Amino acid sequence: MKILIIGGNGTIGSKVTTHFSEKNELIIAGRKSGDIKVDISDSKSIKSMFEKTGQVDAIICIAGEAKWADFNDLTEEDYYIGLKSKLMGQVNLVRIGKNYLNQSGSITLSTGILADDPVVKTTSAAMVNGGIHSFVQAVALEIENGIRVNVVSLGMVEDAYEKYKDYFPGHNPIPMTKVVNAYIRSVRGKDNGEIIRIYD
């Protein structure tokens, strides 16, 4: 398979990349590193990326940002960070990327536990994650050419535990093997319109 992984050099992305690199042709895209540079908050950048990749069999996005801050401190502009990057960035990957997917290809987006179990300082991030969940369920009803669209929603992953543990008191870190398996399920399985939750 020819697989495009956006964010393939990050904490989660690097583990996913290692797995899929064994038997597939990979193209890694990222804002700062990778085979191709892309800013998913800019639809023109996304279009340029796909013009370079050509047709692919699968698209995996493990990228996108949102502002973490106390609700009372969040400005309208702060909300737009998540709306433009993590939400519309991934929506545009589907909207544009479907034209570069081979028959019966797949698109895997990424969110997290905040959509269902938010913690403090995550009003913006939780809103964005929930929006992506609804988008995936709806777009699966209409997308053509046998294309499948799913989203992997993860709890706090093992490799980010030290960085985020204070935000998630009492949460069990998700083993990276479970994390990788969620992406395998989306790419290799037959799920469509699924929120693949790995929270424990």
Q: What residue segments make up the domains of the chain, in order of their start?
A: 2-198
Question: pLDDT of 68-90, one tens digit each?
Answer: 999 999 999 999 999 999 999 99
Supply the pLDDT for residue 131.
98
CATH of domain 2-198: 3.40.50.720
- Is 47:23 a contact under the CB 8 Å cutoff? no
Q: What is the C-alpha R_g of the chain? A: 16
Q: Give this prediction's pTM.
A: 0.97
Residues 6+ apart with CB under 8 A from 115: 126, 129, 130, 132, 133, 153
SS3 42: coil
Query: Are the CB atoms for 106 and 150 separated by under 8 Å?
Result: yes
- Integer CA distances (angstroms), 128 to 55, 81, 83, 123, in order: 29, 10, 6, 9
Residue 31 is predicted with a pLDDT of 95
Q: Are 16 and 48 in contact (CB under 8 A)?
A: no
Mark out the alpha helices in the chain (DSSP H runs).
13-20, 43-53, 76-82, 88-97, 123-139, 161-164, 176-188
